[in-house]
Amino acid sequence: MDYNVVSRRNVDYKSASRRVNKFVLLFNWAIDIFLIAGYLLEYLKGAKTLPYLLVLTTIVIIPMAVATFIFLKNNRSNIMKYVTLAGYFVLYAYVMFTASPDRLHVFAYMFPIVLSYFLYFDLKLVLIGGTAFTLVNIARIIWLMFFLGHSGKFETTDYLIQFGCVLMFSLSLIFSTKISNTFSDEKIMDIRTEQANQESILRDVLKIAAVLDKNSKEVHRIVKELEEFTNVASNAVQEIEKGVA
């Protein structure tokens, strides 16, 4: 394989990895800042206590600070995505189980964050993330229904919708990642096959060029010998002419 092709592919991969890490990190910071701002407003209105706000902020800051440090040290790190996802999972679980029962919309906090990890095309990561966040939703539904007694007919419908949204979102993301990876693998195989064909053609061309070079040298040798023979014959004729004269 051409060294330049391999080198260019490695550079492209490194550049893409750096851009995805940067986007995911900034996106996590943006979501976290909005969450802190929202709960800060609730604190100012008296809906949340200061300890609650401090715990929430701590859960946000610690993993994000670690992830930022990792990114600054190595912007192509493969660890950063796990740190940010784990940190947001803890935050999500905390918010889900501390929100009042009538605030069902908190389950939607998972959608933008989990979706951003699709950019890694890492099926294992998406599978772990989707499963973990789905289990948190199931646990909250069970907690609300069987431990807090919120199991009215309208609430049950809301829980079913919540579970359906989360489950279908996770499944669609998992299968989308799997299909995308399959397409990418097929494309890579096509590229490698095409490169192999090009390399085969190049080898054939080089062989032909070598044969032509060899033949051209042979022709040059024959022409040179013919020229020498012609010169000898010409000199002999001249000597004969001088003798006759």
Within-domain flag for 137:
yes
Within-domain flag for 208:
no
Q: What is the pLDDT along the chain (245 residues), one digit of tens a residue?
A: 444 444 444 446 678 899 999 999 999 999 999 999 999 999 999 999 999 999 999 999 999 999 999 999 999 999 999 999 999 999 999 999 999 988 888 999 999 999 999 999 999 999 999 999 999 999 999 999 999 999 888 899 999 999 999 999 999 999 999 998 887 666 666 667 677 777 777 777 777 777 777 777 766 777 677 777 677 666 666 667 666 55
- Residue 108 belongs to what domain range? 3-194
CA distance 112 to 226: 83
Within-domain flag for 232:
no
CA distance 230 to 27: 85
Within-domain flag for 86:
yes
What is the pTM for the complete model shown?
0.74
Within-domain flag for 233:
no
- Decide: 53 and 134 in contact? Cβ < 8 Å: no
Within-domain flag for 229:
no
Within-domain flag for 118:
yes
Number of domains in the chain: 1
Within-domain flag for 212:
no
pLDDT tens readout for residues 111-168: 999 999 999 999 999 999 999 999 999 999 999 999 999 988 889 999 999 999 999 9
